[in-house]
A and B are shown apart, each in its own frame.
Chain A
Amino acid sequence: DTEVTQTPKHLVMGMTNKKSLKCEQHMGHRAMYWYKQKAKKPPELMFVYSYEKLSINESVPSRFSPECPNSSLLNLHLHALQPEDSALYLCASSPIRLLSYNEQFFGPGTRLTVL
């Protein structure tokens, strides 16, 4: 398996809902990322996990809560979102190799609409 997969593909939720986005990879990558992408904009980094530990949180509001239960899975828990949080949420993964460079591979994204 050489892909990053994400579920669901589309999600519509109200501001009081709680939902989760899921990302999975079976390439043995030990770094995983969440990005947010608005229309006609580049991806913006939200979180980075290295060896299942949160290593970077780009000052993301607490209504977004990441979780990395194991080396293959990355979740993003959503609660009390705002309409401006509507965007494409991209997951990515990369291998961690000492003394080398590590390409990031993106999943297809979850298109989130907050009503």
Chain B
Amino acid sequence: GENVEQHPSTLSVQEGDSAVIKCTYSDSASNYFPWYKQELGKRPQLIIDIRSNVGEKKDQRIAVTLNKTAKHFSLHITETQPEDSAVYFCAASIWDTGRRALTFGSGTRLQVQP
């Protein structure tokens, strides 16, 4: 089955700096890669996703890049703000007629220091 590794496990940055979180996956058939943000005691919320036919996607201060050859994808947050502090999970899935499930990375706790 799919295995997703995520690094770093914790990340502390100063407000205004950039943050980068990296994930690798094992199954070359995976074709959908979402990122979720989970604040303490709250539900995971989808913040951005990327499909396998795209190399990069940007939404305001958040961007995701995908390298299918190397089987890794990254989340980039620019101009970080204290409200970006949360746990971030990457995930991967294979979208076919049978299986519709996400395999999550282990999570990155991002702390943005004011």
Contacts and interface: CB of A to CB of B under 8 A. Distances in A.
B107 A108 contact: no
A51 B45 CA distance: 24
Residue among A43, A50, A96 with max Cβ neighbours from chain B (10 Å): A43
A39 to B, nearest CB: 10
B51 A101 contact: yes
A97 to B, nearest CB: 10
Interface residues of B, number: 23
- Interface residue SS majority, chain B: loop
Given A43-B44, A90-B44, A103-B49, A56 B99 contact: yes
Given A41-B107, A42-B107, A104 B43 contact: no
Contacts of B31: 101
A57 to B, nearest CB: 11
B37 to A, nearest CB: 11
B23 to A, nearest CB: 11
Residue among A50, A96, A106 with max Cβ neighbours from chain B (10 Å): A106
A103 B100 CA distance: 10
Nearest to A108: B43
Contacts of A31: 100
A45 B91 CA distance: 12
Say which size band chain A's interface belongs to. Answer: 20 to 34
B42 A108 contact: yes
Nearest to B31: A101
A109 B43 contact: yes
Given A42-B106, A103-B34, A56 B101 contact: yes
Interface of B: 31-32, 34, 36, 42-46, 49, 51, 89, 95, 98-107
Interface of A: 31, 33, 40-45, 48, 50, 55-56, 90, 94, 96, 101-109
Given A90-B43, A102-B95, A104-B102, 5 more contacts: A42-B105, A45-B102, A55-B99, A56-B100, A106-B36
